[in-house]
Every structure is written in structure tokens, then in C-alpha cells.
């Protein structure tokens, strides 16, 4: 972090453009040097969400055209509509189709594409976790009602399970901080950030808390 801090300052004072990508906001990264966090927070922060259908189609067209792949627009539209969770997976599917057409000399139909990409498509259709499902599992574990987690009451017997549910929602879904806060009774994104920090800290300090959170995460993933 010390070396990165000096590199950042050198680029900044040289009037360079600095773009940094992370899976969490600077204030949500544990053990981050406060000096570095302050520098990261001084710039423009933008949350990146998964691309929509049109964006996925444009990504495929751009990659196909740049690489000169022999893949029809119909196949690109099929891929864009069926593969939504990961851009890397989307590009991997395109590469697999392009390799098939190059080696076989034939343009596969949709039925052949489904067979060719059956493992990718199976992964795409696997169960998608939602904030609702996470709330229900955490509530069941602590013998609470979901309405307790989304309500205004703040006794520790409810507040900490609520924070765990927020933490897991942040880790296991693609929902934004704002969306997660709204799902917990209209709370703001700062409350979700605080919950994430608190749960992460408690997991480091208390092995029982860590075991509970990890157990819940494993059950939800399975």
C-alpha cells in the first residue's frame, strides 16, 4: 500500500488520469491505509452494474468485428439474451462458437449452439440469490420474522442479524448498496456500508460469528 500510495501521488502530481477498479468502495475495504482511502474517495466514484441486453449485444458485435469472426447476428442476439451474469462468460461463449465455425466451416443453428454451450447455459440458469431469499434464511436461523429485519426495531437480537443479512446481500447479489438499503426498510447506502464493516470486524474478532456467517453463506450458495 505504501508503494501504491507513492505511485498514486507521482501520477497525480504529473496530471495523469488515474482509473481504479475494485469490488467495493474505498470506505468499505478493510485494513486500507486511511491516506490511500482519502485519495481514492477524492475522485469520482461510479458503481458499475451488469450490462443490459443492448450493451451485451454491442460487446459481442465489437469483439466479433475486431477479431473478424464468422458469427451471424442471429447467434449474437441469442448469446446476448441467454448469457447475462458475466461478460467474461459471454465473450468465452462467442470464442467457442467462432472456433467451431472456423474448424467446421459451417454456421451452426440455435439447436447446435445450445448443445455447444450447454455447460455455460446451465450455469446461467442456476439459482440466482435474491435479497429476499437471504433475508428469509437469516431470519429462520435466528428464529425471527423477515419483518423484524426490515422493520425499525433496533435491539441487538434483531440489529446484528439484520446487519449479517445486509453483509450477505452485498457479498452474494449484484444489487447496489442503495437497492439493498431499500430492501431493508428504506435504509440508506451508508447503513449498508456500516453493516458490512461491523460484520467483517466481528468475524475477525469472534470465531463464533465467523462460523455462523460462513455457514449461512455456504448454505445460501448451495
Query: Residues 61-106: pLDDT tens digits?
Result: 999 999 999 999 999 999 999 998 788 999 999 999 999 999 999 8
Domain boundary among 90, 124, 158: 124
Q: Whole-angstrom Cα distance, residue 163 to residue 153?
A: 13
> What CATH number has the domain bearing residue 99?
1.10.8.60
Could you tell me if 157 and 90 lie in one domain?
Answer: no
Does residue 125 carry a pLDDT above 70? no
Could you tell me if 22 and 62 lie in one domain?
Answer: no
In a domain, 32, yes or no: yes
The boundaries of the domain holding residue 175 are 131-221
Query: Residues 153-177: pLDDT tens digits?
Result: 889 899 999 999 999 999 888 788 9
Q: How buried is 90 (Cβ within 10 angstroms: 0-12 exposed, 13-18 middle, 19+ buried)?
A: buried
Please report the pLDDT score of residue 115 as a whole number: 93
Instruction: Looking at the chain, list the stretches that DSSP marks H as alpha helix, in order from N- to C-terminal side.
Output: 2-13, 34-41, 53-67, 73-82, 87-104, 110-116, 118-124, 131-141, 146-150, 156-172, 177-183, 189-205, 207-221
Could you tell me if 143 and 210 lie in one domain?
Answer: yes
Please report the pLDDT score of residue 96 as a whole number: 96
In a domain, 47, yes or no: no
Between 47 and 185, residue with greater pLDDT: 185
pTM of the model: 0.50
In a domain, 46, yes or no: no
* Mean pLDDT of the region 175-203: 93
Domain boundary among 105, 124, 143: 124
Q: Whole-angstrom Cα distance, residue 41 to residue 35?
A: 10
Could you tell me if 137 and 211 lie in one domain?
Answer: yes
In a domain, 48, yes or no: no
Could you tell me if 99 and 168 lie in one domain?
Answer: no
What's the total number of domains in the chain? Answer: 3
Predicted confidence band at 198 (pLDDT cuts at 50, 70, 90)? Answer: very high
Please report the pLDDT score of residue 17 as a whole number: 95
Domain boundary among 67, 101, 124: 124
* Mean pLDDT of the region 28-37: 84
In a domain, 210, yes or no: yes
Amino acid at each position: 500500500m505504501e508503494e501504491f500510495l507513492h505511485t498514486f501521488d507521482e501520477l497525480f502530481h504529473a496530471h495523469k488520469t488515474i482509473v481504479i477498479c475494485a469490488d467495493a468502495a474505498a470506505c468499505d475495504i478493510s485494513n486500507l491505509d486511511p491516506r490511500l482511502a482519502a485519495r481514492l474517495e477524492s475522485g469520482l466514484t461510479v458503481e458499475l452494474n451488469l450490462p443490459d441486453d443492448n450493451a451485451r449485444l454491442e460487446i459481442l458485435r465489437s469483439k466479433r468485428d475486431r477479431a473478424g469472426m464468422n458469427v451471424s447476428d442471429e447467434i449474437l442476439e441469442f448469446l446476448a439474451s441467454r448469457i447475462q451474469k458475466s461478460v467474461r462468460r459471454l465473450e468465452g461463449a462467442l470464442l467457442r462458437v467462432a472456433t467451431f465455425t472456423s474448424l467446421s466451416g459451417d454456421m451452426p443453428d440455435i439447436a447446435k449452439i445450445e448443445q455447444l454451450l450447454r455447460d455455460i447455459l446451465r450455469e446461467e440458469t442456476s439459482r440466482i440469490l435474491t435479497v429476499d431469499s437471504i433475508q428469509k434464511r437469516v431470519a429462520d436461523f435466528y428464529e425471527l420474522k423477515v419483518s423484524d429485519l426490515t422493520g425499525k426495531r433496533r435491539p441487538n437480537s434483531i440489529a446484528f442479524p439484520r446487519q449479517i443479512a445486509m453483509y450477505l446481500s452485498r457479498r452474494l447479489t449484484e444489487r447496489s448498496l442503495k437497492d439493498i438499503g431499500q430492501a431493508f426498510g428504506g435504509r440508506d447506502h451508508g447503513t449498508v456500508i456500516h453493516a458490512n464493516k461491523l460484520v467483517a470486524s466481528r468475524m475477525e474478532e469472534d470465531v463464533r460469528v465467523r462460523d455462523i456467517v460462513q455457514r449461512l453463506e455456504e448454505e445460501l450458495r448451495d
